[in-house]
Structure 1
């Protein structure tokens, strides 16, 4: 087809190719009506791409439910390169492509592996992926490619996608750049209508809306006299169903073999002929279809001349005939159990347990490879074909869970509701309630999740722990105490101890609660979930440093074990831990990474958590606009979802911002409001965590009664805390309201001296001590502490606090100079994440596996990191990052 009139589209294609050659990869989607010329543009791009490698895939409607079918087509020529990937990625991509047994249930790991494989395939000249008929891609392939498309900015890989322009497709491609391929103008259309006059060409262009395919077909169908205007144009024009009319004129056997080919979808001539033979049709019928110009056969491969021909064949056949052909294809596909199951389902006339079981088994295979969305569709179909209500409810429940993990929350909710209407078994009812509660906790109303878990729990410790987790998000102490009371009657276990001990502390029985939690913390377990419970327990004991340590360990375990389905949630705690350990840049990098994953996974409340943490980091560093933007976005999610913990943290960030910028009255008002906010609007942990700032703001605002009340609160909360940081915080808070403050500040500094994660706390304490000493006219002593505080704040990027320390230093008679920007601030978040892991001793391949990158991308970033930081070895990098 001519590309006349496509100058703008061709320029866009050239830009995409240039991006791959310049290692600034891009993804571009060409959207348009059938026949608009999208496939021709893709073919032209592939020709212009030389010497780049080109990989191609075309969606086929019969394969739309087969997990990773389109991806297999795209990656088949480079599948051997998977051997060079990190172990977990290698196994995941080989499993997805059906090249090996795979038991990964991690769709993000598969996506990361595919991205790595594409980067490997781009060596040495770059790579162009050409994807046609994207609207018929299976969901696993579509999700995986779009995951890669969002991460091409530093790769020698570009992606071109062609798809029909529908609302559903536009939504699916919302993360990619989109270009509408519209109809041709009169002048360009005339080049397809050889022999036409300008007037006729203009009329035909108007009638066809400039569709190139329709114009090309008209050029074949109209007579020279009609094109020249010597004879009138037919009315109506023969373009509405050109292919349908062609198919309708064919002999019955030819139409039937075309239907077999249309429903087979892969273009496997052997399968088509076997099914045709079973239907009593010989190979001559296929030859006739080829002679009619509707299909082309090349060896063992068959393809339709245009997708609309296939659509016309499908539309022209009745449902009974289609079922008959699907039945023949089910036998013809041989050992391909997944395709056989889908053909059997399409051939079924009503509920059939054997067919439903085959579909369910196919779904389980897809799920094991990370193809959750396609597994969900298969399970939903299996449920519809299941005769027995209980078994149907079970399959609907499985479909809901798979849809949720596949990033289809709306679909998950629909299937869950259908399962609940059918469920009669008590265990299944509890499982459905747990699933519903999880949906709510991750992306809906946390208080509603809490109620669901509590109502369904009975004596099930797992559901009680879910209720306690939801209560911790909401900030509902009463429910946490109720959970602990109910857990008392259960058999002893680590989880039971956590529930009972935490509840006892919250009920005021500090002696028993402390004893139970400390006993459990002696052996916290080494899985991420157990470590997160340990972190929560340490928080309730008032030991922020221990809580941070457990959360950091949980994040590392989650990465190594491939818990990517829950990684955004685990990283909530890990990012908070990094912030509490004075690693502000690292904390922000983790939250930025996890925010992307949370949004991709549909974990709305986790997104709020990372936005709140980013607001806290920005508050400490004095980036006001950024702090307010992150905090407001977090609050917009957390307030209606009643996630009190995130409301509290985001509100705390705004109060801390005011305090750092010297707006003490506003800070006092905001931070005091935290103490009165109830469940869903505030949180005890936010009240505890903000105490030091709240006391300082109250004193600065002249409200000594409020300051004393806050000191009393932190003393009660920390009465059983044993860690140095917890005791130092109490000393610092008490110093703010005592006349003899200097010894208390010095005590706090002594306690923090050996704590490598307490740089920020130590600097805040040193600043307060320096200020007090200067007011007491002990300027010589004051300078030492003020200088140390300014240096630390400068290194952390905490600019408002640094300016305050430098101002005090100047007032003490020393010319304070701002520290040079810390080297880490020069790194992008991606570079920082990589540098951090490399400094921990992680190999490049394992860094790639943990961060969903390719090893080559890791090497590329390190090539830029080393000179930025002024280091040349991993040892120097580890030393710089404090490992």
Structure 2
């Protein structure tokens, strides 16, 4: 029975009741040790009815073993792996060591968990209980929270119990101390009525409403203490909290056990398998040795599984033992955990037993890190490299392993950990002191603590530092770190160009250009071509295409080449290249690059005028960036989504996204991201025909008018238009667009240059420029930019009373805007057409069929209409197949259809 938890019980029971009706839910229960989290979870499991219960418990010694907790949770459901989509099943098998590593990204593992839980549910709900989540390995916790955040209609409930709140993005329930009345009842039930009042009051005061303390402290009292003849509680050093009191009480009880029982308990506490056979073999005792601990209620034995009654019992068993005994327990476990399947556990036990440098153990941890990396367990790989560094007798090997730990932590998105690793060393370690603050009011650089290094190792360290700066520090300092590498290899300069472009600072770009040798190495000449682009020289986009398509080239070089194709306005080719690179990332688990490629894909879709595909790609990228802690990329993706919202006419969403992007961009000196966000805000006003505020935002974006036009080419045509509409023509800006178009040489760029020329020259030349802009736009394949050109040309013609000529252009513009879902521009075209005397049906709003659906329903319906199965849709949208079916069930009546075959017609009708 639970005391004083009626409200909490009701909240958890309601989750189960809703799950029985098909609605999933998740909750994080947090509170101090002993406050009753485990009891609440056990009560929920006992009251689960027809629900299938899956459980896992975090173990402190198991936190560095990737997917250990997840395997424990899903073990009863693994027989259903065969019904999952093959990539998801392969990812789970690899995570659990049931198959060779596939290199699939962590998203597939999380999605596999979601689909497996959905399949396991069947007709009955599933209850997943994750106790002591603070000790669950990072990979398991990532996969479980990924699934929990996407629960919808599977009938699955996930409850996490954790001591301190963890930002998991899930609803939370805090367990506070029991009120006085239920605490008194609980104390009476477990201590009886024979305690003298002053002893009872002292126990209650020390327990502070902590249920476990109320139960265990009376049990720890001797007969004299119970009678009030001695001090009533065991002493606790340092931290007299209820949990420390309980730990001391458990320690006192363990101290009364026979020596061989205490030894066996210590081995069990050091073990993370829970395998009774392993514990007995390592402790070299018979099962009878554990009987006193079982009788005392400290452990539970269930067949071949040993579990501690509470994590504080495990902690007390460790703390009550001497250092020599703890080392002996780990060595004994390492000796009995034989076989390749226990290699990681064996390595960690040997590392726990090490009292000084040990290169052999360090190499074992290196191998454990390699295995973890192959299963996308980058957080565990980082921990293994770090511990190996601590055990390295050779300073150079120590430094190499610290760099490897930082690299793995960066890949895992643990940028605070990266910073801590880079700060290792100092005067007593492997390097010198930190770099001074740059004087810009921000915190100091992350660079410097491990020393500059030399050769490959120094370059790798610089790349890690730069990645950290770009994500959590300053894009400017990221460039400074990279250009500071002596004899920089092409990979360093490629990444320096990337960071300088992100900073949006022409001076930084020039510093990188100055480092490019006259004859840079590499079979594609990418560095020389980039130097030419950022130097304002004409460069054909085709010059970069071969690099982007070369599977043998460095991936960062391939990406920057694809980005250059986009910057040079060959958006169709750039889109193809982005899709190619994205497929490469998905197949190899390059999570950070996956978000980056999705951003490029979204921007190319946006440039072509495909708003919905652009938004889909950006939303997926933002999910990945959030999942992996990629704040820098998330900033850009929010700016892209803000631009999509602006063109679609969703001003509030645009402002929310753009302001979030600007806050991060200004704090981290991401000038190009800030320019994208300002452009998005400008488009809200420009679409509504309100030029003055649009011009303010675009001027804010244009911070370096003397820099190479390619850095801001995406926003300059809008700046020219806003200025022209505000009555302040900017011929100098139009000239910058022309210089960029001359660099590109393609029709898309030439179309924008001609349009800018038309907006800034006199009437005599304007029509010729508009005509050229339309012709170039048609050669480029049309899209929203051509529609905007036709709108501007139509407006120009109508104001010169050439209504008949204007109508044709305005009709074509309106049709394109409506097809794309660009509502503000469609309304502008509609208003202009009315001005020519044409009667317009005002009910022909854009996107009418899809407008009846929620955003999630729209995505599901689009994919279903394209012929994708529920499983395929689930994979693309990171949902379970059951949730996809639920969305279709709700969407059909809104669209007036009864089957999937009718969807395509409903969307085009």
Task: Please report the TM-score for the alignment, with normalisation by the length of structure 1.
Answer: 0.89
C-alpha distance in 2 between matches for 1:561 and 1:60 = 30
C-alpha distance in 1 between matches for 2:559 and 2:867 = 24
C-alpha distance in 2 between matches for 1:720 and 1:381 = 52
1:456 aligns with 2:450: no
Aligned residues: 859
- Asked if structure 1 preserves the Cα contact closer than 8 Å seen for 2:58 and 2:132, the reply is yes
1:268 aligns with 2:282: no
1:371 aligns with 2:391: no
C-alpha distance in 2 between matches for 1:390 and 1:191 = 62
C-alpha distance in 1 between matches for 2:867 and 2:684 = 36
Q: Which residue of 2 aligns with 1:611?
A: 638
Q: Which residue of 1 aligns with 2:258?
A: 251
Specify whether residues 832 and 395 from structure 1 end up closer, same or farther in structure 2 by C-alpha distance, changes over 3 A only: farther
Specify whether residues 233 and 184 from structure 1 end up closer, same or farther in structure 2 by C-alpha distance, changes over 3 A only: farther
- Asked if structure 2 preserves the Cα contact closer than 8 Å seen for 1:866 and 1:872, the reply is yes
Note the C-alpha offset of 1:522.
5.6
Q: Which residue of 2 aligns with 1:358?
A: 364
Q: Which residue of 2 aligns with 1:59?
A: 58
C-alpha distance in 2 between matches for 1:709 and 1:184 = 72
Q: How do 1:660-739 and structure 2 match up within 5 A?
A: 660-677=687-704, 684-685=709-710, 687-704=712-729, 706=730, 708-736=731-759, 737-739=761-763
Q: Which residue of 2 aligns with 1:99?
A: 98
Specify whether residues 478 and 276 from structure 1 end up closer, same or farther in structure 2 by C-alpha distance, changes over 3 A only: same
Note the C-alpha offset of 1:90.
1.2
C-alpha distance in 2 between matches for 1:30 and 1:565 = 31
- Asked if structure 1 preserves the Cα contact closer than 8 Å seen for 2:221 and 2:232, the reply is no
Deviates more, 1:822-831 or 1:872-881: 872-881
Specify whether residues 602 and 779 from structure 1 end up closer, same or farther in structure 2 by C-alpha distance, changes over 3 A only: same
C-alpha distance in 2 between matches for 1:380 and 1:488 = 40
C-alpha distance in 1 between matches for 2:826 and 2:876 = 35
Q: Which residue of 1 aligns with 2:835?
A: 811
- Asked if structure 2 preserves the Cα contact closer than 8 Å seen for 1:806 and 1:818, the reply is no
C-alpha distance in 1 between matches for 2:202 and 2:708 = 69
Report the secondary structure of 2:751's partner residue.
helix
Q: Which residue of 1 aligns with 2:447?
A: none
Specify whether residues 305 and 237 from structure 1 end up closer, same or farther in structure 2 by C-alpha distance, changes over 3 A only: same
Q: How do 1:97-136 and structure 2 match up within 5 A?
A: 97-104=96-103, 106-136=105-135
Q: Which residue of 1 aligns with 2:823?
A: 799
Q: Which residue of 2 aligns with 1:551?
A: 578
**Unmatched 5+ stretches in structure 2:** 235-244, 432-449
Report the secondary structure of 1:98's partner residue.
coil
C-alpha distance in 2 between matches for 1:605 and 1:661 = 31
Q: How do 1:194-233 and structure 2 match up within 5 A?
A: 194=189, 196=193, 205-217=204-216
Q: Which residue of 2 aligns with 1:749?
A: 774
Note the C-alpha offset of 1:569.
1.2
Deviates more, 1:422-431 or 1:640-649: 422-431
Deviations 1:776-831 (A, max 9, x none): 22323433433443344344443332332232222222343142341334444444
Specify whether residues 849 and 488 from structure 1 end up closer, same or farther in structure 2 by C-alpha distance, changes over 3 A only: farther
Note the C-alpha offset of 1:87.
2.2
C-alpha distance in 2 between matches for 1:459 and 1:318 = 52
C-alpha distance in 2 between matches for 1:536 and 1:140 = 32
Report the secondary structure of 2:357's partner residue.
coil
Report the secondary structure of 2:27's partner residue.
strand
Deviations 1:386-427 (A, max 9, x none): 111111111111111111222221211222343762675522
Note the C-alpha offset of 1:722.
4.5
Specify whether residues 576 and 778 from structure 1 end up closer, same or farther in structure 2 by C-alpha distance, changes over 3 A only: same
Note the C-alpha offset of 1:7.
0.6
C-alpha distance in 2 between matches for 1:563 and 1:827 = 34
Q: Which residue of 1 aligns with 2:531?
A: 503
Q: Which residue of 2 aligns with 1:465?
A: 494
- Asked if structure 2 preserves the Cα contact closer than 8 Å seen for 1:107 and 1:406, the reply is no
Q: Which residue of 2 aligns with 1:436?
A: 465
Deviations 1:625-664 (A, max 9, x none): 3322222221211123222211211122222223223332
Q: Which residue of 1 aligns with 2:616?
A: 589
Q: Which residue of 1 aligns with 2:177?
A: 183
Deviations 1:222-255 (A, max 9, x none): 899999xxx7696424665332221111222221
Deviations 1:503-546 (A, max 9, x none): 22433442xx34xx534436741657566334333344344454
Among 298, 311, 323, the residue aligned to 1:294: 298
C-alpha distance in 1 between matches for 2:747 and 2:708 = 24
Deviates more, 1:5-14 or 1:47-56: 47-56
Report the secondary structure of 1:688's partner residue.
coil
- Asked if structure 1 preserves the Cα contact closer than 8 Å seen for 2:494 and 2:557, the reply is no
Note the C-alpha offset of 1:209.
1.8
- Asked if structure 1 preserves the Cα contact closer than 8 Å seen for 2:104 and 2:587, the reply is no
Q: Which residue of 1 aligns with 2:629?
A: 602
**Unmatched 5+ stretches in structure 1:** none
Specify whether residues 720 and 32 from structure 1 end up closer, same or farther in structure 2 by C-alpha distance, changes over 3 A only: closer
Q: How do 1:23-172 and structure 2 match up within 5 A?
A: 23-104=22-103, 106-164=105-163, 166=164, 170=165, 172=166
Specify whether residues 836 and 418 from structure 1 end up closer, same or farther in structure 2 by C-alpha distance, changes over 3 A only: farther
Deviations 1:751-800 (A, max 9, x none): 444765x3322322222232223222232343343344334434444333
Note the C-alpha offset of 1:620.
2.2
Among 774, 785, 792, the residue aligned to 2:798: 774
Deviates more, 1:606-615 or 1:289-298: 289-298
Report the secondary structure of 2:54's partner residue.
strand
Which structure carries more relative contact order (alpha carbon 8 Å, separation 6+)? 1
C-alpha distance in 2 between matches for 1:630 and 1:582 = 20
C-alpha distance in 2 between matches for 1:831 and 1:558 = 27
Note the C-alpha offset of 1:326.
1.2
C-alpha distance in 2 between matches for 1:143 and 1:675 = 40
Report the secondary structure of 1:640's partner residue.
helix
Task: Please report the TM-score for the alignment, with normalisation by the length of structure 2.
Answer: 0.87
Specify whether residues 874 and 391 from structure 1 end up closer, same or farther in structure 2 by C-alpha distance, changes over 3 A only: farther
Note the C-alpha offset of 1:591.
2.0
Specify whether residues 848 and 471 from structure 1 end up closer, same or farther in structure 2 by C-alpha distance, changes over 3 A only: same
- Asked if structure 2 preserves the Cα contact closer than 8 Å seen for 1:588 and 1:614, the reply is yes
Q: How do 1:297-696 and structure 2 match up within 5 A?
A: 297-335=301-339, 336-418=342-424, 421=431, 425-456=454-485, 458=487, 460-477=489-506, 479-480=508-509, 483=512, 486-494=516-524, 497-510=525-538, 513-514=539-540, 517-521=541-545, 524-525=548-549, 532-559=559-586, 562-677=589-704, 684-685=709-710, 687-696=712-721
C-alpha distance in 1 between matches for 2:230 and 2:838 = 94
Note the C-alpha offset of 1:371.
1.4
- Asked if structure 2 preserves the Cα contact closer than 8 Å seen for 1:453 and 1:467, the reply is yes
Note the C-alpha offset of 1:879.
8.1
Note the C-alpha offset of 1:380.
0.9
